[in-house]
Amino acid sequence: MNLTKNLPQEINAEQACLGSCLLDEDAFFITVETLSPNDFYKGEHKTIYKLMVDMLQTGVNVDLVTITSGLNEVGKLEKIGGVTYLTNLVNSVPTPKNIEHYVALIQKASIKRAQHGLLTAVNDGQMTIDDALTELETLNNIEIKEETLQMLLEKTLMEVTKGTEFTFGIRSLNKYIGGLDRGELLTIGGWTSQCKSVAGMQMAINQCKCGKGVLFLSTEMTPQEVSRRLLGNLELIPIMRIRKNNLTDEEQNRLQRRAKQISGEWNLNIKKVFSMTDANKYVRKYKPDFLVFDYLQNLGEQDYTSTSNNIIELQRMTLRNGLGTVCLSQFNRNNEEIREPRLSDLRQSGRIEEVSNIVLLLYWKERLQMINPERFGGEEPEEMKILISKNRDGTIGRIGVNIFPEYARMEHISFTQYQPDLYQGGGK
């Protein structure tokens, strides 16, 4: 008697699941979090899904074209039914939005097959009843993944004793914000030339010094440009002189020593990106703890809808991968008057305020007034304000910081006076 035909199986759900993964990246991530290749019943589906997972781990985007190419390269395309079968998988999907239902059906059938296997092993004398019961209990627990209230509160109290995961190099920000946790998104907004990239760079450097894995993604600068800013910041050498190679022998040696030191000690990757797909690819590849995205509006169209879609995808990526994320955002409208920025300036750029846990707005008044004294290095710092305009867990207000634009460096002011925000909207 062939018992294989009677084993629990959900072939239609497997087809819909694989098709959804090929159509929708979010559906693929949801599937990967729950299912392994062995959860699929049909051998062809195991082969397809295993290759998908392998591609994900190597940073290759998964879609109909790449999976077809991948299967062909390993000589398995015809064995799974060829391009026609893969196309049918995609066409069989009612909607990728039902992916969690498809995954649940596949997992349930997989557990039942495993239970059947345990009973067979006991009947055949290959396993004792006690061992089978132990395995059975493990299988049953797979289905129960939700946290109880007690578990949730205990986990929360454990996190409280540790404090926030990511603290800033600017002590006054730590005092009033408390840092950033995994899964949280901090947005730094401002008009052009208000040192948003400097703020992002300073936060990235601080996390590197704390031993975190950091990914710096830029939509406007090449990795070489970012690296110049990094070295200028650390060695207090003006970036323009590094760019022109107008350096003394001593400065050249300092830069070389610093480059060697951080390349050996820091877990930092710097990449230029052109889309959120690129960003997702690098996050999957490098698996960072902390992400700096510079800057949001430079991805394709700058209209409200496109920017909203991108910030929502960045939030999903932050939550999905447990990142601490800093997103730099530029206001769409020019500043026609010299004033502090407001949250309303940010709202015109998309749904950035809504999805951000914390919003900081930068205000460098002298730069807006076009007061730009030449700086060659060694001068007293400029002073600018950071407006804590949104903070889900704490206070809002203003703090002062020192800026060294020639070094792309931001520093704490030792005795900065915190000014509480006494009005709505984060700016007068």
pLDDT digits (tens, 9 = 90+) for 205-226: 999 999 999 999 999 899 999 9
Element (H, E) at 186: strand 184-190
Placement of tokens 């010299």 in the chain: 338
Residues with Cβ within 8 Å of 206's Cβ and at least 6 positions away in sequence, in order, are 167, 168, 169
Tokens representing 192 are 């052009």
Tell me if 90 sits within 8 A of 49, measured CB to CB: no
Element (H, E) at 29: helix 25-32
Residues 303 and 228 in one domain: yes
Number of structural domains (the chain) is: 2
Give the model's pLDDT for residue 135: 60
Residues 251 and 356 in one domain: yes
The one-letter amino acid code at 320 reads R
Residues 88 and 177 in one domain: no
Distance CA 160, CA 6 (A): 51
Tell me if 297 sits within 8 A of 329, measured CB to CB: yes
The number of beta carbons lying within 10 Å of the beta carbon of residue 174 is: 15
Q: Where is the domain boundary, 77, 111, 142? A: 142
Give the model's pLDDT for residue 428: 35
Tokens representing 347 are 């709202």
Range of the domain at 272: 162-420
Q: Taken in order 5, 9, 12, 16, is the CA torsion positive or negative?
A: negative
Residues 84 and 15 in one domain: yes
Q: Where is the domain boundary, 111, 142, 173? A: 142
Residues with Cβ within 8 Å of 173's Cβ and at least 6 positions away in sequence, in order, are 360, 386, 388, 399
Residues 97 and 171 in one domain: no
Give the model's pLDDT for residue 42: 92
What SS3 string covers 330-397?
ECCCCCCCCCCCCHHHHHCCCCHHHHCCEEEEEECHHHHCCCCCCCCCCCCCEEEEEEEEEECCCCCE
Tell me if 411 sits within 8 A of 242, measured CB to CB: no
Q: Where is the domain boundary, 109, 142, 175? A: 142
Give the model's pLDDT for residue 235: 92
Give the model's pLDDT for residue 155: 57
Domain presence at residue 425: no
CATH of the domain at 169: 3.40.50.300
DSSP secondary structure letters along 265-307:
H-EEEEEE-SSHHHHHHHHHHH--SEEEEE-GGGSS--SHHHH
What are residue 290's phi and psi, to 5 degrees? -135, 135
Rounded to the nearest 5 degrees, what angle is found at the Cα of 172, between the Cα atoms of 370 and 209? 95
Query: Do the bridges between strand 324-330 and strand 358-363 make them parallel or antiparallel, or are there none, so unpaired?
Result: unpaired
Domain presence at residue 137: yes
Residues 301 and 344 in one domain: yes
Q: Rounded to 10 degrees, what is the CA torsion of 151, 156, 159, 164?
A: 150
Domain presence at residue 248: yes
The number of beta carbons lying within 10 Å of the beta carbon of residue 394 is: 12
Residues 19 and 130 in one domain: yes
Distance CA 97, CA 177 (A): 36
DSSP secondary structure letters along 187-215:
EEEESTTSSHHHHHHHHHHHHHHTT-EEE
Domain presence at residue 308: yes
Listed as ranges, residues in the chain with pLDDT below 70 are 1-5, 122, 125-163, 300-302, 332-336, 347-350, 414-428
What are residue 221's phi and psi, to 5 degrees? -115, 150
Placement of tokens 């407006």 in the chain: 387
Residues 237 and 356 in one domain: yes
Domain presence at residue 226: yes
Domain presence at residue 395: yes
Domain presence at residue 347: yes
Residues 175 and 130 in one domain: no
CATH of the domain at 94: 1.10.860.10
Residues 129 and 201 in one domain: no
* Alpha carbon separation from 149 to 98, 146, 156, 163 (Å, rounded): 27, 10, 10, 21
Domain presence at residue 329: yes
Residues 170 and 133 in one domain: no
Supply the Cα-derived Rg of the chain in whole angstroms. 26
Element (H, E) at 329: strand 324-330
Residues 373 and 267 in one domain: yes
